Amino acid sequence: MFYSLPSPVFLYAPIKPSSFFFLSPPPSISSKGSFSLAMRTNTHILISLILLFNIFNGSNSVSPSSDSILLSCGDSSDDVDADGRKWSGDSNSKFLVSSDNSQPFKAKFQDPSLPSQIPYMMARVFSKESAYEFPVSAGKRYWLRLYFYPSSYSGLNSTDSYFAVVADGVTILRNFSAAITAQALTQAYIIREFSLIPISNNLNLMFTPSDEHNGSYAFINGIEVIPIPDIFNSPATLVGFSDQTIDVGASTIQTMYRLNVGGQYIPASNDSGLSRTWYDDSPYLYGAAFGVTFSDSEKVKIKYPKTMPAYIAPINVYRTARSMGPDSKINMNYNLTWTFQVDGNFMYVVRFHFCELQLNKINQRVFDIFLNNETAQDGADVIAWSGSQAVPVYKDYAVYVNDGPGDDQLWVALHPSAEEKPEFYDSILNGLEIFKLNDTTGNLAGPNPVPTPMLLAAEASVLIAGNLGKSKGRAQMIIAIAGVAAAVCLVLAIGVAVYQRQNVPDREYGGTSGWFPIYGRSSSHSTTSKSTISGKSCTSSHLSSLAVSLCRHFSFAEIKQGTKNFDESLVIGVGGFGKVYRGVIDGGTKVAIKRANPSSEQGIHEFQTEIEMLSKLRHRHLVSLIGYCDENDEMILVYDYMARGTLREHLYKTKAPPLSWKQRLEICIGAARGLHYLHTGAKYTIIHRDVKTTNILVDEKWVAKVSDFGLSKTGPTIDQTHVSTVVKGSFGYLDPEYFRRQQLTEKSDVYSFGVVLFEVLLARPALNPSLPKEQVSLADWALHCQRKGTLEAIIDPHLKGKINPECLKKFAETAEKCLSDQGVERPPMGDVLWNLEFALQLQESTDGAILMTNGAANFSENNNSGSHRSNLSIGGESEVSEVSDLNTNAVFSQLINPKGR
């Protein structure tokens, strides 16, 4: 899973180029297309997370113009900050209108991460509604920057501060808590940047403590009001409506993200006098595809066109770029994708900065641009736009982000255009800015972020940084923390995967759910028929006759009746694809009903895959698909109801009683049986590809069942060693070998299951960026402790002293072997199952040592094929070979007599 990012705060950070957190050169890709990692991934994960957290805040080093206002609130005198900028104190200022309702206070202590005492150490605290009024020029555009340092001021608790800020009639902050925001971002201070055009010659800035919280107060440490050229004087094309545009210039705007794509940090002093700070884009890259970065090294002279002012973006943004790489075949199999946390129910303008540094002819590099799975631009050709090499150009696109579960992210993706048949199948981007526009009610405020850390979507995000590399270490991906808090969610289960449109989802069932598409939505679909009403692809005609015969088709009326017309009180899970309801069919049978959002076109491929796979699979430890509905442009799946939800719900962050060690072992054994059946029991090997604790469900009798087969794929044939495919799965659980090579085997499931085993033992998420860097990745930390002999010290406190030492040893050894870097070194799932059943026997035995010598399947140094592979067939009798020497103890009856399943 990923973790979702917090509610966004503008990209400012107390990081300078000299301390940019890179412990070695940043990830790069050579001109030959070979990928490299700058460091072990656990360090990279930490760096990505630190960057992701820090990238929102920072200082401005540009000297203000003569009519700029820099106000140090609560200060009685003028002073300069660490960059030499002069700030005026507001104690005797004509700008403070209602000083009777406020008091100046000094912070109790100075956080070492503060870039300067000015303007952070003094604050103006408001007990009642109060205002500043600044002289401005009506009709001229200004930056408005607000500085917050949530500290203790005269004994006031920073967590009691909730307030609203209204600028020139537009609510820019509402119920804002600087303390919560700073905590969620792991920052000492916050800076918010807005851009507005005052309607009069006075800009009124109103601070109002919240009535919803007793003892609440408002505060501010610093205010900047800086005149700028109107950089939003051209309309933006509305995505999905190519004939419509959005008048950006008439809006009040919040800067959400500003990235120097393919380059490094650009301080405000190098930004054309507009005092903007640009940040590295790598923490926001999604998935295994990191692309390649390059620069002109000042060999090519950047030439701004006459129609484009140089202040649109500094020259250093156009000197660097990120492309997909030199291999066209690889490029056609993935998207260059970034993901960003945003607030729902707002219009966003995404500004793309381009400058072709390598090519000089039209139709050499042509690509498509997607925003939130919608086609923003077909056939983007930078040379055709700019007219020449090294000439910058920018394009603005507007996209509306809905307010709903899973809709709080903005995806940006580039993919080579096959239709244009360019000379090189590649894409390029130099810079990216994302702006939020006020809504029709005059509101620009979003919610406070959730303070519980975790990404990079999480259950992260997020976001994210992923990398391919030749590392002996664990190559794992992170999301855009997917983040810092609640959930990258995201549970996702069904995503667009039509011709050249594929997904890299993170899904959950029985919790939150969602699907993250890697490719954008095309204007045409070659594999599915479309409804003339909504454009949603219909699927019935694309299901096999066997699937249709084995899987019940429900009418939409039956589904509505079973869910009481989709009563919200019956929702048991929500995600970007839609909602999961508890329902009743046939007069009393409880079921789980997963419904796609009617306005979504996501999930067609996974909807079909789930039906095709599960209709043919029947096993006690696999969630049963009862049926589906595809009427009225709906995509609905009906499953057995799992009364106790997901395994994760019983491990941590829950009010439920902790599971006993025996219960946990039995659940792991059940899940292993289900996976073993997928790998060996069907006609063809089936690889799940998304094994995690949220995809292991538990029924009312605590029987574990593997769920969510939307990503499942048929494994290699007898004459193949692997299946080459685009990387899909969930961060923290992803097989590093599959990640690096894009070669899938059933051992990828084994690796993911190893993470699950340690998650069960330690009762903590697979990724937790709130922990010290060496502990962020559960897999890395557990392996480190296991090899150091200190694993017992970090297990779930509820289990300490309750696990038989021999049982713990066998369980930990099994998990460790599953997490081997090389798939060939991992045991087959049959051996994993064998050892888990043996561990259970050890737990219940008073003489584990005797059992140890008599029975368990010990891992060989190289067990590429399983010694317990079954010749199981769907719906038929089963045989197991190579068991003559096995202990016939009852604990192994499931392996020896498959009828027992």
pLDDT of residue 62: 37
- Residue keyed to tokens 């559960």: 778
- Beta strands per DSSP E along 102-240: 102-106, 122-126, 130-135, 142-148, 163-167, 170-176, 190-196, 202-209, 218-220, 222-227, 236-238
Q: Give CA–CA dist 630/543, Å, rounded.
A: 11
Judge contact between 390 and 296, C-beta under 8 A: yes
Judge contact between 514 and 406, C-beta under 8 A: yes
Percent of the chain with pLDDT over 70: 70
- pTM for the whole thing? 0.49
What is the 8-class DSSP label of residue 524? -
**For residue 889, is pLDDT > 60?**
no
Task: Determine the Cα angle at 401 with ends 397 and 402, to 5°.
Answer: 155
Judge contact between 119 and 81, C-beta under 8 A: yes
Give the residue from 454, 446, 545, 429 showing the smallest Cα distance to 506: 454
Tokens of 160: 């009691």
| Higher per-residue confidence, 859 vs 624 | 624
pLDDT band of residue 102 (cuts 50, 70, 90) is very high
Concatenating the DSSP letter of every residue in 645-663 gives -BSGGGTSS-SSPPPPHHH
pLDDT band of residue 162 (cuts 50, 70, 90) is very high
Give the residue from 167, 168, 141 showing the smallest Cα distance to 176: 167
Judge contact between 537 and 525, C-beta under 8 A: yes
Q: State the pairing for strand pair 461-465/320-323.
A: unpaired
**For residue 465, is pLDDT > 90?**
no
The phi, psi pair for 443, rounded to 5°, reads -115, 140
pLDDT band of residue 741 (cuts 50, 70, 90) is confident
Digit-coded pLDDT (tens) for 613-657: 776 677 888 888 888 888 877 888 898 888 888 999 999 988 888
Q: Give CA–CA dist 429/294, Å, rounded.
A: 11
Judge contact between 149 and 189, C-beta under 8 A: yes
Q: Give CA–CA dist 120/95, Å, rounded.
A: 19
pLDDT of residue 598: 57
**Which residues sit opposite 687 in a β-bridge?**
713
**Which residues sit opposite 517 in a β-bridge?**
503
Residue 288: left if φ>0, alpha if ψ -120 to 50, beta else—which one? alpha
* Mean pLDDT for the stretch of residues 322-338: 91
Helix ranges restricted to H, 681-777: 736-741, 747-762
Digit-coded pLDDT (tens) for 796-841: 999 999 999 999 999 999 999 999 998 999 999 999 999 999 999 9
Task: Determine the Cα angle at 705 with ends 699 and 707, to 5°.
Answer: 115
Give the residue from 801, 893, 809 showing the smallest Cα distance to 852: 809
Residue 819: left if φ>0, alpha if ψ -120 to 50, beta else—which one? alpha
Which of 97-101, 464-468, 554-558, 654-658 is predicted with the least confidence, judged by mean pLDDT?
A: 464-468
Judge contact between 613 and 710, C-beta under 8 A: no
- Calculate the average pLDDT of the chain: 76
Judge contact between 490 and 459, C-beta under 8 A: yes
Give the residue from 725, 620, 717, 634 showing the smallest Cα distance to 673: 620
| Higher per-residue confidence, 45 vs 735 | 735
Contacts of 565 (CB under 8 A, 6+ apart): none
pLDDT of residue 819: 96
Q: Give CA–CA dist 5/449, Å, rounded.
A: 8
Instruction: Indicate the residue type of 46.
Output: L
| Higher per-residue confidence, 726 vs 843 | 843
Digit-coded pLDDT (tens) for 127-161: 999 999 999 999 999 999 999 999 999 989 999 99
Digit-coded pLDDT (tens) for 215-225: 999 999 999 99
Contacts of 852 (CB under 8 A, 6+ apart): 806, 810, 842
pLDDT of residue 723: 61
Residue 683: other Cβ atoms inside 10 A: 10
**For residue 894, is pLDDT > 60?**
no
**For residue 272, is pLDDT > 70?**
no
SS (H, E, C) 232-252: CCCCEEECCEEEEEECHHHCC
Q: Is 690 noted as a catalytic residue in this protein?
A: yes
Given the residues 690, 708, 735, 780, select the one marked as catalytic: 690
Any idea of the CA torsion for 173, 175, 180, 186, to the nearest 10 degrees?
Answer: -10
pLDDT of residue 886: 30
Tokens of 79: 């002073």
**For residue 471, is pLDDT > 90?**
no
pLDDT of residue 353: 98
Q: Is the dihedral of CA 530, 535, 539, 540 positive or negative?
A: negative
Q: Could you give the domains of the chain?
A: 69-227 (2.60.120.430), 490-640 (3.30.200.20), 658-900 (1.10.510.10)
* Mean pLDDT for the stretch of residues 429-433: 97
Judge contact between 443 and 170, C-beta under 8 A: yes
